[in-house]
């Protein structure tokens, strides 16, 4: 079959690499180059870099309904379009183009966690398992018929950054298996139970603000789900910390949420709405990620100091 692949970030790469080994990819669609780094130099997406390496034609539309883009896409005559973390909604003109449909690799066990942030929200919500679903795309947000699914365990110390590559690898394998079944005519689709659906909206930087009145375990899950981006953060006076690694305990304290309960050699212990959170790694503003022991070597943190959601003098 003639297959067009749509994807953009690192999560898309295993799906594209697996597809290149198994099928004929006649074209690739990815998001436009974006400014990156302190110098804001235009950078190609990971998917575009592979397209260039393999000498496969690339389209980078700014608008999905652009007539020139749609004409160029149609000229590739795709039998099927495979999508993995492309990052844009596909209009009906694209969904109806390939005879075999558009198949998406989604990072959750649908119908749970529909949306742009399924991996992050599964960890934030304290799930112990998640997975990959391949699905036939329709006009809704991840509402199409499910094709194949595979579960994966979420380890207690998993972050979005550590879980995402494992899911991406499963996604690549499941995509190739799904397309093989399409070609063989053996694929059986299942409608989603829309009553069981949950949402995983796109995360914003402000979602990282830590609310210390929440239980320690809830805060710990949020830190894991927001690592590496957008990062869970708090302030000690005017100093902004991104918390990179922390451990929740059920220890009790008489201190109000957000107050430093204890400072040990390798952790800053903070009172929460329920239990204590021991911060082990953090990233101060304009600095790199570091163990708390290294931070404490140059900064005085004392019992009773308040950690807050916004900077104070």
Q: What is the pLDDT of residues 246-275, one digit of tens each?
A: 999 999 999 999 999 999 999 999 999 999
Q: Percent of the chain at pLDDT above 70? A: 100
29-43, 53-67, 146-160, 195-209, range with the lowest pLDDT: 29-43
Task: Please tell me whether residues 240 and 147 are part of one structural domain.
Answer: no
Distance (Å, whole) CA 48 – CA 29? 8
Residue range(s) defining the domain that contains residue 235: 205-308
- pLDDT of amino acid 158: 98
Is residue 250 reached through a cis peptide bond, with omega within 30 degrees of 0 on the bond before it?
no
Q: Is 175 in contact with 82 (CB distance < 8 Å)?
A: yes
pTM listed for this prediction: 0.96
Evaluate the omega torsion of the peptide bond into residue 261 and state whether it is cis, within 30 degrees of 0.
no
CB 101 within 8 A of CB 82: no
Residue 46, pLDDT score: 97
Residues 244 and 139 in one domain: no
Stretch 179-204: mean pLDDT: 97
What pLDDT score was predicted for residue 40?
86
Query: Does residue 12 belong to any structural domain of this protein?
Result: yes
**E-state strands within 177-238:** 232-236
Domain end among 175, 196, 217: 196
Q: Is residue 313 part of a domain?
A: no
C-alpha gyration radius of the chain: 22
Report H helices in 76-186.
Answer: 92-95, 118-124, 160-184
Residue pLDDT, tens place only, 71-87? 999 999 999 999 999 99
Collect all residues with Cβ–Cβ distance below 8 Å to 195 and sequence separation of at least 6.
none
pLDDT higher than threshold 80 for residue 243: yes
- Of 179, 196, 213, the one marking the end of a domain is 196
Which domain CATH number covers 135? 3.40.50.170
Do 226 and 177 share a domain, yes or no?
no
Please compute the mean of the pLDDT values over residues 48-65 and round it to a whole number.
98
> Is 214 found in the same domain as 132?
no
User: What pLDDT digit, counting tens, does each position of 1-28 carry?
Assistant: 999 999 999 999 999 999 999 999 999 9
Q: Is the pLDDT of residue 313 over 80?
A: no
Distance separating alpha carbons of residues 197 and 195, to the nearest angstrom:
6
Shared-domain flag, residues 173 and 255 = no
Of all residues in the chain, the percent with pLDDT exceeding 90 is 97
Model pLDDT for residues 192-208, shown as the tens digit of each residue? 999 999 999 999 999 99
54: number of Cβ within 10 Å: 12
Res. 39: pLDDT tops 90? no
* pLDDT score at 312: 85
Confidence of residue 89 (pLDDT cuts 50, 70, 90): very high
Our count of domains for the chain comes to: 2
pLDDT band per the 50, 70, 90 thresholds, residue 38: confident
Domain co-membership, 100 together with 249 = no
């Amino acid at each position: 079959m003639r297959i067009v692949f749509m994807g953009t970030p690192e999560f898309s790469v295993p799906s594209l690499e697996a597809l290149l080994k198994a099928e004929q990819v006649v074209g690739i669609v990815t998001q436009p180059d974006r400014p990156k780094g302190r110098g804001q130099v235009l950078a190609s997406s990971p998917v575009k870099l592979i397209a260039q390496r393999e000498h496969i034609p690339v389209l980078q539309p700014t608008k999905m309904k652009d007539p020139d883009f749609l004409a160029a896409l149609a000229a590739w005559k795709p039998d099927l379009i495979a999508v993995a973390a492309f990052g844009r909604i596909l209009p009906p003109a694209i969904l109806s183009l390939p005879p075999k449909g558009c198949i998406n690799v989604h990072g959750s066990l649908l119908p749970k966690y529909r949306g742009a942030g399924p991996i992050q929200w599964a960890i934030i919500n304290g799930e112990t398992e998640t997975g990959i679903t391949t699905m036939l795309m329709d006009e809704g947000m991840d509402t199409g018929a499910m094709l194949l699914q595979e579960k994966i365990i979420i380890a207690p110390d998993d972050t979005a950054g550590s879980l995402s590559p494992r899911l991406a690898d499963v996604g690549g394998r499941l995509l190739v298996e799904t397309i093989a079944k399409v070609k063989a005519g053996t694929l059986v689709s299942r409608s989603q139970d829309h009553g069981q659906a949950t949402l995983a909206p796109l995360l914003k930087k402000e979602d990282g603000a830590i609310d210390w009145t929440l239980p320690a375990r809830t805060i710990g899950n949020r830190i894991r789900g927001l690592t590496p981006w957008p990062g869970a953060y708090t302030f000690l006076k005017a100093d902004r910390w991104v918390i990179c690694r922390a451990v929740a305990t059920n220890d009790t304290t008489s201190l109000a949420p957000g107050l430093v309960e204890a400072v040990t050699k390798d952790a800053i212990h903070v009172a929460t709405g329920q239990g204590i959170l021991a911060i082990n790694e953090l990233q101060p503003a304009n600095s790199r990620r570091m163990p708390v022991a290294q931070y404490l070597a140059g900064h005085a943190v004392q019992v009773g100091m308040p950690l807050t959601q916004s900077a104070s003098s």
